[in-house]
Structure 1
């Protein structure tokens, strides 16, 4: 299937879901979700797979077992792509009533990955590489996020020029494109491809220095 854009009906669907997050609304509008949200998202990531890796679309249903918020449906459709065998570092795209969100990096690191991440940040060669790339992304309008400690971990100087990076337990960059006419056409594919390419250096650093976890990850 060729990607032709996200129909406006998909964004309107999510506006309605935000107002009425119920099985009744979902069942009544399931066809709109399938046709105007999920299908174009699948087409989008399929066209990007050759460059960025096999894609995975997230389920529209929320896991409410461990959340105080018991609303059953996500108010966005997300998808992730990751190159096989590279471990940490992935690309993300999301459509919602707010517009199109693109991001890249690592959202969750296991303890062995966090240890390698900190060791690389403290390294005199790899640390400055990450510092330069994070600063470049921030200057270009990307938000730099991730799970952070309140203090620099033990064994590292507080006045280190990379102290803020040392506090990270995960690291990713993202930006949101507001709804616009281009979102409903093939230009959206070019926007995502360009944004993901801008995140390639960050993901390469994570893949080279953090890699995959050696721990057995328990899936919920």
Structure 2
């Protein structure tokens, strides 16, 4: 399938889901979701795969086992591309009634990855590289965030100009393109491609300095 934009029916579908997050609404509107949301997102990431690698589309169902919010369906459709063998650093895209969200970086790091991340931030070569890249992204309108400690971890210089980066346990950058007519056409593909390219240096730093975890991950 060729990507030709996101049909307006898909955004209207999510507006309705936000108002009525129920199995009744979902069952009645499932065909719209399949053709106007999931299929265009799949076509989008397929078009990006030659440059960024294959992407995984997330399931539309929420995991409500440990949540007070028991609404069953996500009000967005996301997809993530994780380069094989790189361990840390991924690209993300999401469509919702708000518009199109793009992001990149690392959303979850295991303890061994966090330790390598901190050592790299404290390094006199790699640390300034990350500082410059984070500052560049922030100046370009990206929201740089992630899970953070309230204090700099022990053993690191609290006066370091990279103290805020040392507090991170994960690091990612994102931005939201609010609803606009270009979402309905092929220009949306180029918007995502350009945005993902802008995140390449951040993902490369994470891959080179953090890499994959060596821990055995417990699955729930």
Query: Under a length normalisation based on structure 1, what TM-score does the superposition of the two structures give?
Result: 0.99
User: Unaligned 5+ residue runs, structure 1?
Assistant: none
Counterpart of 2:53 in structure 1 is: 53
Counterpart of 1:136 in structure 2 is: 136
1:218 CA drift (Å): 2.1
Q: Which runs of 4+ in 1 moved over 6 A?
A: none
Matches of 1:16 and 1:145 in 2, distance apart? 30
Task: Say whether 1:20 aligns with 2:16.
Answer: no
Matches of 2:66 and 2:164 in 1, distance apart? 30
Matches of 1:154 and 1:90 in 2, distance apart? 29
1:11 CA drift (Å): 0.5
Task: Say whether 1:117 aligns with 2:113.
Answer: no
Deviates more, 1:131-140 or 1:152-161: 152-161
Matches of 2:188 and 2:216 in 1, distance apart? 37
Show the 5 A alignment for 1:151-170.
Answer: 151-170=151-170
Matches of 2:41 and 2:116 in 1, distance apart? 34
Q: Aligned residues, how many? A: 220
Matches of 2:74 and 2:86 in 1, distance apart? 29
1:60 CA drift (Å): 0.1
Query: Under a length normalisation based on structure 2, what TM-score does the superposition of the two structures give?
Result: 0.99
Counterpart of 1:127 in structure 2 is: 127
1:219 CA drift (Å): 2.7
Counterpart of 2:2 in structure 1 is: 2
Matches of 1:21 and 1:49 in 2, distance apart? 32
Matches of 1:135 and 1:217 in 2, distance apart? 33
Counterpart of 2:172 in structure 1 is: 172
Helix, strand or coil at the partner of 1:29: helix
Helix, strand or coil at the partner of 1:177: strand
1:83 CA drift (Å): 1.1
Show the 5 A alignment for 1:88-127.
Answer: 88-127=88-127
Matches of 2:55 and 2:109 in 1, distance apart? 20
Counterpart of 2:33 in structure 1 is: 33
